[in-house]
Amino acid sequence: MSVTKGLVSAAAIIAAAGAGLWACQTGLIKLPLSPAAAMTETHAAASGPVVYYRDPNGKPFYSLAPRNTDDGKAYVAVQASEDVSFEPRPKTEAVARAASSPGDKRIKFYRNPMGLPDTSPVPKKDSMGMDYIPVYEGDDSDDGSIRVSPGKIQRTGVETVEVGRHPIIRTIQAPGAVAIDERRVAVVAPKFDGYVVKVGDITTGTHVRKGDVLATVFGQAILDQAARLLIEQNSGFTRSDDTFTPPSLKGPGGVVGASRRLQNLGVTQEFIDQVKRDRQVPDIFTIRAPISGDVLERNWSDGQGFKQGDVGFRIADHSVVWMMADAAEGDIALIKPGQRVKVTMRAYPGRVFEGKVGVVYPHLIKETRTAQVRIEMANADMALLPDMYGNVEIATGGNADALAVPASAVIDSGNRQVALLDLGNGRYQPREVKLGRTGDGFREVLSGLSEGDKVVVNGNFLIDAESNLQSALKGFDASATTPSSTEASQ
């Protein structure tokens, strides 16, 4: 049993030595002064029982019982008043008396040093031998404010800011993919039956300009109407059903019947003028690109036949593209057409593309609980390709400034939102606030605070904990002053 006690005592000494060395290095506590240092500083006479013995040479060695060093020197006894302390040690006896009795304030009660809801009307120690802390009149306030010592404020890094007006802008982030602008797609599909004579030097993916030759074709319907055009032109014949034809469509002599049919078949005005000018019918008809863009489909080959309505080419203009973003259900109400958008693409790290919201689709995708948002983006350098993935940031909210506080200033318990108002001189008052919109780093304040008030933005949870402790102590104040409470606490 004695061996066990010795081991436990040794472990306690080693732990105390390690903790004391660390605390001394960090400046949190002051170890008892060495004999040399004691000669240079005046102290009040040591009092209290001997709590342990320390190395006489100032080394971090301690013992619970008297002992000697290897060179025969006796360990120095450390009394209770000389033990380590987490509070600054008074330099003089007058300062010590002032610190132990702040002014003429009367001690109301003593509270548990570990923050437990336990008070006593007389000085006492807890189960670990720690003294209860005195609470003076005026330390607790009836106005609901909290008092925090300057030392605590400095050690915990409490920071405050003024309540002011800020724009409440919330940035909504959503994934998206590039898509083709549906309004910039053209399909080449003849309105007559025929054969492909020759396909131009065009393949899928080729960029073409408006008017470039896509193919030359033969179509019997085109030749028939071209021949009829020459007959009508030579005879000066005008059909009665063309009476209401606009003058702009009427050729020389008022001949319009064949011209109208050729136009309905998709023949260009250039071809009609050529027939009238040359007075002969060409054997083939040239099909040209209707827009500038990239060829998405080429379905024709030389000598291939086609029917009316068969698609020969599909061309898309990529100078403007869409970004189809999937916005969460909870963000849909904030997104409006015309809002500015920033897009970053996985293919171009560090580059930011800009666009604006075009349409918020009026239906929800039930599997993902998202709605598609169409964003129109310029693509002059053709960097954005269809089906590329990107990240979308939509800036929502108005430009008008609103009374707001940083988000870190609000303590949100779910049912109640509180901000800590700085009253000065180490006093803070919890203020219940009513909040509105939430922006990037700010929360709108509808009531509870005024412009110019100072609120805590860092360290507010420590002050909130101090408030809970003081509230608990007030609840025990009345009972602590009764004799029965005194006897129970002792």
Q: For the chain, which domains are there?
A: 2-93 (no CATH), 101-149+471-489 (no CATH), 159-166+400-456 (2.40.420.20), 171-181+317-396 (2.40.30.170), 190-311 (2.40.50.100)
Say which residue, 452 or 241, is predicted with more confidence: 452
Instruction: Output the pTM of the full model.
Output: 0.54
Helices (H), 199-317: 220-235, 257-264, 269-278
Residue 465 CA to residue 476 CA, distance in Å, equals: 17
pLDDT tens-digit readout, 207-253: 999 999 999 999 999 988 988 888 888 776 544 444 444 555 454 44
Helices (H), 41-161: 93-100, 150-156
Model confidence band, residue 32 (pLDDT cutoffs 50, 70, 90): very low
Provide the mean pLDDT of the chain. Answer: 77
Model confidence band, residue 114 (pLDDT cutoffs 50, 70, 90): low
Most confident of 59-68, 371-380, 414-423: 371-380
Can you tell me whether residue 84 is helix, strand or coil? coil
Residue 2 CA to residue 48 CA, distance in Å, equals: 28
* 231 sits in which H/E element: helix 220-235
**Alpha carbon 344 to chain centroid, angstroms:** 15
CA angle at 27 for the pair 25 and 28, rounded to the nearest 5°: 115
How much is the pLDDT for 184? Answer: 95
How much is the pLDDT for 157? Answer: 77
Residue 271 CA to residue 269 CA, distance in Å, equals: 5
How much is the pLDDT for 382? Answer: 92
CA angle at 390 for the pair 186 and 374, rounded to the nearest 5°: 50
* Percent of the chain surpassing pLDDT 70: 71
Say which residue, 389 or 84, is predicted with more confidence: 389
Say which residue, 470 or 75, is predicted with more confidence: 75
How much is the pLDDT for 254? Answer: 47
**In the predicted structure, residue 440 carries a pLDDT above the cut 60:** yes
**In the predicted structure, residue 295 carries a pLDDT above the cut 80:** yes
Say which residue, 460 or 475, is predicted with more confidence: 460
How would you list the strands of the sheet with 305-306, edge to edge?
A: 285-288, 213-218, 194-199, 305-306
Cite the beta strand spans of 233-312 per DSSP E: 285-288, 293-298, 305-306
Model confidence band, residue 387 (pLDDT cutoffs 50, 70, 90): very high
How much is the pLDDT for 274? Answer: 87
Model confidence band, residue 95 (pLDDT cutoffs 50, 70, 90): very low
Model confidence band, residue 191 (pLDDT cutoffs 50, 70, 90): very high
**In the predicted structure, residue 462 carries a pLDDT above the cut 90:** no
